[in-house]
Every structure is written in structure tokens, then in C-alpha cells.
Amino acid sequence: MKPAISQVSSLHAPFESDIEEYAAGDCHAIDVWLTKLEDCLRRRSLNEIRELVDQHAVELAVASYQGGILASQGEARRSAWELFERRLRLCRDLGIATLVIACDVGAPLTSLDLERVRVSLREAARAADAHGIKLALEFQASSAFGNNLQSAAAMIEEADSPALGLCLDLFHFHVGPSKTEDLECLTRENLFHVQVCDLAGIPREFAADADRVLPGDGDIPREPLVRRLREIGYQGCVAVELLNPQIWQIPPRQFCPAALAALNRFLG
């Protein structure tokens, strides 16, 4: 397993600072926050970003995330897919192997909506494969469909594309309807990315992204996930992902060593 940090954990810092400070903190695999990267491209060229990444020996391993491509319609769908295509090209040009896509399907849900999601997922996989990119579908606890690991794994199996796999976000696994036994759905072939955090002293029903804390600092059981990752011989990234406004105030150089130490304890 490859320890990594998601740039959203230091949301207020510029992309360039993350690269420099994470590398100084001995983190060399990054889960790129796409809006940060796109903001950086307003200041720097692709070549300059490549040089920065190479200079600090950092791997842009994964990019998060693309939403709105599965169930949207009309103008919203056109805009989301245009952005998706641009981001596929950006990932290709920067050597980012995996792009996380959100299973963000809203209610109410009809049979036509379900079919749209299935077709869109297959189309997205074909588009990604054409660019040499893998897609990691992130099930989300608030989604009307695909809000748990078992359903997301079934969607991946049905789509039957080598370019399509799963992103397991421990927050969504814990607060949603997923069950511990659903971890059996994970295989070395279908698991493309893992994001971890913790929750402390808050019921799952009331937990929000802003409540995320470092893995191991809260109440989410870690053993079932870590055991399954070892059983399947998972070799991908395990990224700390915190969308906590209080943690955003911590400079990346201070946050990075603490995050890596927590992640290493989490993974045992």
C-alpha cells in the first residue's frame, strides 16, 4: 500500500505549496484536488507543473473528483461532460493514472434514471480508456443510488470495463448503509483507490464532511478494512482525505508529517 495525502486536506494552500511542503514532509504520492490544479494552470504552464513535480520527486497518483456525469440531464449534463473530457486530457498530460468520479445520483429516482446511470458509466469508462486513464467510482452515502459498497461493486461488475473500478472512501462507508461484510466485494482487480479519515464522538446520522479528523483519532473501526486490503494484496494509494475547515488552517508542512504518522499507525 502506498501512503498518500489528498490536497483537499490543505484546501487553502496553493497547489505549488502542497507539492513543495508534502515532499518536504516525506509524502511523495498525492491525491490531486482538481480545482486546485486547474487554478494553478492559470498561473503556470503544464511544463512548469511537470518540472515542479519532477523537482520534488512527487507522484500525482490520483485526481479527485469529477461529479455530475452519471444522472445529469440537459445543459447540466453537457457542461459536466465537457469538464470531464478536459480533465481526462489533463490527467493524461500529467501522467495521473486514476480519476475519481462521484456516484452522485439524486432523488427522486425512476427506472429511466437508473438506465441513464448505467449507460453513462459505460460511456465514461470508454472515454477514460481512450485516454489511458482509469476511473474509480466513489459511492456516496447521500446518493439515491450507489450509496454503498455492495451496490457500487455491482455497478462496476455490470459495466465490465478494465478502466473502471472502485474508490472506497471510509467516511462514506461508515456513515452510509454499507456493512462490514460488504468488504468482501473488494478485490485486487476492482479496487483502484482508498481514502481514509475518522470521526470522533458524533453519531453517524449527523456526521458531515467537516467533522472528518485524522485516521485513528476517532471511532471508526479500522481493522476490517485494513485486514481486507492485506487479504487482497492491495498495492494502490491509501490517502488521508479531510474536508475539515479547522484542519485547513494548518500549514501543509505541519499537517503532512502528522497525517503520515496517523496513516502509518492506521495501516499498522
Q: Report residue 31 as a C-alpha cell.
A: 491525491
> Which residues are paired to 137 by β-bridges?
101, 166
Regions in the chain scoring below 70 on pLDDT: none
What pLDDT does 171 receive?
Answer: 98
DSSP SS3 for 224: helix
What pLDDT does 142 receive?
Answer: 95
What pLDDT does 122 receive?
Answer: 97
What pLDDT does 202 receive?
Answer: 93
pLDDT digits (tens, 9 = 90+) for 175-207: 999 999 999 999 999 999 999 999 999 999 999
Looking at the structure, give the CATH architecture of the domain made up of residues 2-267.
Alpha-Beta Barrel (3.20)
**Domain residue ranges in the chain:** 2-267
Element spanning 194, H or E = strand 191-196
Element spanning 33, H or E = strand 29-33
